[in-house]
Each structure stands twice: as structure tokens, then as C-alpha cells.
Amino acid sequence: TKLDDSKMAGAEGDDSLYPIAVLIDELRNEDVQLRLNSIKKLSTIALALGVERTRTELLPFLTDTIYDEDEVLLALAEQLGSFTVLVGGPEFVHNLLPPLESLATVEETVVRDKAVESLRKISQEHSPVDLEVHFVPLVKRLASGDWFTSRTSACGLFSVCYPRVSSTVKAEIRQHFRTLCSDDTPMVRRAAASKLGEFAKVLELDYVKSDIIPLFTALASDEQDSVRLLAVEAGVSIATLLPQEDLEALVMPTLRQAAEDKSWRVRYMVADKFSELQKAVGPEITKTDLVPAFQNLLKDCEAEVRAAAANKVKVFCENLPEDSRETIIMTHILPCVKELVSDTNQHVKSALASVIMGLSTILGKDNTVEHLLPLFLVQLKDECPEVRLNIISNLDCVNEVIGIRQLSQSLLPAIVELAEDAKWRVRLAIIEYMPLLAGQLGVEFFDEKLNSLCMAWLIDHVFAIREAATCNLMKLVEKFGAEWAQNTIVPKVLGMANDSNYLHRMTTLFCINALSGVCGQEITTKHMLPVVLKMSTDQVANVRFNVARCLQKIGPVLDSSALQAEVKPVLEKLATDQDMDVKYFALEAISVLALA
């Protein structure tokens, strides 16, 4: 294929049309935006030059002139990651290393990260020999660079070359990584700590034990908490690699220490990674170590940590070993959960509320009624709307176990209050749960308690709420059927057509748009259509053109005689309206409904 490429370029004979000078001029343009544009089209330039000149002229030029705005450098770093074909395929891929090496040493993290990403990508395209001859030396140069940026970049490159090099080179790579883990710049130690888990995965098990474990232990007790917290994540990865019998001696002491670290950031990290940790260490250590650790995190003095732990309550309980799951939950976890329900911090309560319902499936009917139900009820009365909302949004879990009726007495005031919350986003959220609630509570309960709320939303002063309320009605009709609609909501909706506020009159039209399909032809023709037609003489133009749009929408539900006899004359009249928008929509409706 390489041959083909050069033949093609030659045959075109247009190399001379695009002298590199012109292209390079573009890359050097004073205007950053133009430089950026050219860099983003670097592949086009390379294509025009052909593989040979890209290698011998373009890449050296790029390597030599890397001093530019970070935005341009970022684009360059990204482009070079997919440049292999443009330099002539894997055989020549190492030609891309010099510019990427320079980019991997710049100050700006975003650029450097992108350069490392591209280097990782093209490392896979190197043959094992090229990897040792070209790539590994680059990694070593970066790893022993003067300024911290190059050493930071090196950290991300060890794991991609390690599996494919000889054992001597492997030993060197391990040595370099060790050195970076004890670098005196915290930035480098952070980079090393964040790549420790990834590096451990490509190492032979013996080296994991002999090399990685000491590094992990050292990083996990670093003087800077920003380093220690990254070691937590590495610890989880390492734990998955080790055989069960080594875990206790090699990683558990360090992880235990992390769970009690004096810095809340580290404890937060432990809480955040708790499910992964649980999977990595297995059921026995979970029982002996993680359960008490989890209890402590749930009782932590910092709300951030408690919230992170509260988020994990359900998953943690789910993954407990089955033989002792219920006992552990009842005796160890539930008491902490009970305290969190009345936590002082709303984020903690709301994190808990988003998962607590899930416990009912794990604990079964009796325990749910006896122990969890009181907690749900407390949370349903919480002062923070987010907490109540999180409970309501997860009602389906409880519904499966005990049925929602048990909750309905407390549910109602909670729903009513959320429905009237001052924040429209809260109101919007509860509207979205209405169809689900209606389904679970049944039609009678709904008619009695919730119907009026649903109607009240139709006259909310926020459009998004009115819109959602309209859509909600449609979903309710889908659930309860057309007859129910005709008896309960259609009269109210149509009544609004006489309201003095034109926004309410428009809401009638929007509701009809949504409801005509689910209510069917009879109701639409008999009850809705007359109202719509009557509104065509409304004095507000917005109402009139919405009549036209409404007719267009409900047209397909009507039969042809109604269309011809009733709709057509009205639309024709609207088509001669003074207002141009009314005209426009009337004509559109006429053409869509093929009434012309």
C-alpha cells in the first residue's frame, strides 16, 4: 500500500501545486484562529504532501517550532495520534515520536495529557523492536527530565510498553517507575500514584508483590493527602490482582489505615471506591474488615464522607455474602442508616434517600414494614425537597415488596407539598413521577387526592410546568382510559377555553393536542372540536394561530366529513386573517390536511 500511495501522489503530479512553504505559512499565520484551523487540517496537509515529505519536511518542522498557544498544541497533539497512515504506516510510526515528545513536556496539563494519550495510542502500532529502539528510550528520557512535566507524562507510558519488551528492558522500566514514585515533586508522585494500578495490571504477579506493594504502601502514607487519596484507587486495582491469601498481609493494613486517614479527602475516596473495594477483597475480608470500616464512614465527622458512604449503602448490602447478609444489615448497617435519616446535612440525607428504598428488596417484606417503613416516612417529611423527591422517585422498589398502600397516608402530604414547592424544578420533577404514582396508587385514590393537583399545574405561571402538566394528562389517560378522561379531565380542560387569561386558553389547545390521540375519535369530534372551532375567533392572534396548529394536529383523528364540513371553513377563514402568523399556520394546516 505504501507503494500505491507514493505512486498516487506522483501520478497526480500536484505536489508542486502545494509547496510546503505555503502550507507552513499557514501554520505560522499570525492569527491564532487561522493557525488552529490549519493544525486541525494537518492530515489534509500531510495528504497533499505525501508520506515521504510528511516524514522528511512536515514533522521536522512541527518538532522544531513547538512554541505556540496551548490551544494549537492541543490540536496538534490530538492529530498526531492518528497520523500513522500519513507517515507511511506502522513501519514509520516512530517518526511521530519527536513532536509528541516535545508536547509531552509542555506546562499545560491538557496538552500534555493529550500528547500522552496519542503516544499510548501509537505505541500499539510499534513493532516490538521499534518499541525498544525508539519508544522506550523516549519514555526513559521523559522519566529523567529536569522539569516535572516530562516526568509526569512518563508515568502514563510505562504500562503500554512493558508487556511487549524484553526482560532486561522490563527491569529498567520497573526501576524508572520506582524512582518516580518517590520523586520529590508532589505533582509527579500524584501522576505515579494515579498510574500505579494500571501499571500493576501489566506486571508479573511476583513483581506485583515485590515491587508494587512497597510503592503502594509508601504512596499511601505520603505526606500529601492528594497523593494518598490516589493510592486508594490503586489499592483497589492491586487487590483484584492478588490471590486471596496474600491480601491480608499485603494490602489490608494500608487500606485500613486509609479508611481512618486524618484527611477527609482520603476517607472520602475510600467511601467512593467502596463497592469496587468490596468486590476486590471478597466476602471474608468484607465481613471482618469492611463492615466495621463502612460503619465508621457512615458515622464520619465530615458530611462529604458520610454522603459518599450513604450513596453506597444499597450496593454494599447487596454484595454482602448471602449467608450472613441479613444479620449484618440488621445489626451493623441499619443502626447507622437510622442515624443518617436525621443527619444535619441535607446532602447526606438526600444521598441516602436515593438508595434507601433499594434495601427493601434485600430485606424482604417483614423487615421492610418493621424497620424501613418508619425511615421512609421520616424522609418523606424531610424539610429538604430533594430528600422527599428521591424517596418518591424510587417508590417502585418498595411497591414490589410491600405495595405502595402502606405509604399512601404519608405519601400524600409529601406529594402535595412538593407539588407546591417554590422551585419550579422541584414541581417539574414531581410531575414526572405522577403517571408512575397514579399507576401504583390506583384510580380511586388518584381521583380523590391527586387529580386537583394535576389540574392546578395547568395554570402554573411557569411554561415548563404547564407543558409538563399537559404531557402528564396524556400519560394518565393512557393509564386510566378514555372514559375516565371524558368524565374527569376533559370537562375541566375545555372549561379553561373561556378563561380571561389567554395563556390559559392556549393551555386548553395544548391539552387537546396531547389528548386527542389517546381519547380517540368520538370524544375528539364530539367534545373537543367544537371548542377549538369556537376559539378561532379569539381576539388574541396567538390563540388563533394555535387553533390552526391544533386543527392540523387533531385532523388525523377526525373523520373526513368533520374535516370537510367543520374544519375546512374555519381554516379557510383563518387563512385570510390579518395576522401573518395566523395565515401562515392556517395555510400550513390546509396543505398538511390536504383540504385545498
Partner 1 sequence: MVHARCAPRNEALLIWPGRRKDGKKHPNQLFTSKTSRAMSSAATTPPSVDKVDGFSRKSVRKAKQKRSQSSSQFRSQGKPIELTPLPLLKDVSAQEQPELFLKKLQQCCAVFDFMDTLSDLKMKEYKRSTLNELVDYVTVSRGYLTEQAYPEVVKMVSYNIFRTLPPSDSNEFDPEEDEPTLEASWPHLQLVYEFFIRFLESQEFQPSIAKKYIDQKFVLQLLELFDSEDPRERDYLKTVLHRIYGKFLGLRAFIRKQINNIFLRFVYETEHFNGVAELLEILGSIINGFALPLKAEHKQFLVKVLIPLHTVRSLSLFHAQLAYCIVQFLEKDPALTEPVIRGLLKFWPKTCSQKEVMFLGELEEILDVIEPTQFVKIQEPLFKQISKCVSSPHFQVAERALYYWNNEYIMSLIEENSNVILPIMFTSLYRISKEHWNPAIVALVYNVLKAFMEMNSTLFDELTSTYKSDRQREKKKEKEREELWKRLEDLELKRSLQSDGIIPT
In this structure, what C-alpha cell is assigned to residue 582?
395566523
Minimum Å distance from CB 304 to partner 1? 5
| Phi and psi, residue 81, nearest 5° | -65, -25
Site stretch for partner 1 (CB under 8 A), options 17-25, 75-83, 324-332, 482-490: 17-25
Minimum Å distance from CB 1 to partner 1? 9
Site stretch for partner 1 (CB under 8 A), options 134-142, 300-308, 440-448, 582-590: 300-308
In this structure, what C-alpha cell is assigned to residue 80?
498526531
The smaller minimum CB distance to partner 1, of residues 14 and 400, is found at: 14
Among the listed residues 385, 421, 391, the one whose alpha carbon sits nearest the alpha carbon of residue 407: 391
C-alpha to C-alpha distance for 180 and 172, rounded to whole angstroms: 13
Of the residues 3, 21, 129, 422, which one makes contact with partner 1 according to CB under 8 A: 422
Q: Are 173 and 158 in contact (CB under 8 A)?
A: yes
Q: Does 186 bind partner 1 (CB under 8 A)?
A: yes
Residues 33-92 that bind partner 1 (CB under 8 A): 34, 41, 43-45, 47-48, 69
Task: Provide, for the chain, the percentages of residues in helix, strand and coil under a 3-state DSSP scheme, each rounded to the nearest 5.
Answer: 80, 0, 20
CA torsion 331-332-337-343 (nearest 10°) is 120
C-alpha to C-alpha distance for 341 and 356, rounded to whole angstroms: 10
Site stretch for partner 1 (CB under 8 A), options 93-101, 169-177, 256-264, 313-321: 256-264
The smaller minimum CB distance to partner 1, of residues 88 and 555, is found at: 88
Of the residues 63, 185, 240, 361, which one makes contact with partner 1 according to CB under 8 A: 185
Of the residues 204, 323, 366, 420, which one makes contact with partner 1 according to CB under 8 A: 420
Contacts 24+ apart (CB under 8 A), 180-184: 180/143, 180/151, 180/154, 180/155, 181/215, 181/218, 181/219, 182/218, 183/148, 183/151
Q: Could you give the count of Cα atoms lying within 13 Å of 175 in the half-sphere of its Cβ?
A: 8
Q: Does 382 bind partner 1 (CB under 8 A)?
A: no
In this structure, what C-alpha cell is assigned to residue 431?
410531575
C-alpha to C-alpha distance for 51 and 87, rounded to whole angstroms: 5
Site stretch for partner 1 (CB under 8 A), options 126-134, 245-253, 455-463, 558-566: 455-463
Contacts 24+ apart (CB under 8 A), 239-244: 239/277, 239/280, 239/281, 240/279, 240/280, 241/200, 241/201, 241/205, 241/208, 242/205, 242/208, 242/209, 244/282, 244/284
Residues 25-44 that bind partner 1 (CB under 8 A): 26, 30, 34, 41, 43-44
Q: Does 294 bind partner 1 (CB under 8 A)?
A: no
Q: Does 342 bind partner 1 (CB under 8 A)?
A: no
How many CB atoms neighbour CB 375 within 10 A? Answer: 22
Site stretch for partner 1 (CB under 8 A), options 89-97, 180-188, 250-258, 403-411: 180-188
Q: Does 11 bind partner 1 (CB under 8 A)?
A: yes
In this structure, what C-alpha cell is assigned to residue 372?
424501613
Q: Does 107 bind partner 1 (CB under 8 A)?
A: yes
Of the residues 6, 8, 204, 292, which one makes contact with partner 1 according to CB under 8 A: 8
Minimum Å distance from CB 266 to partner 1? 9
Minimum Å distance from CB 461 to partner 1? 4
Binding site for partner 1 (CB under 8 A): 4, 7-8, 11-12, 14, 17-18, 22, 26, 30, 34, 41, 43-45, 47-48, 69, 107-109, 147-148, 185-187, 190, 223, 225-226, 262-264, 301-304, 419-422, 427, 456, 460-461
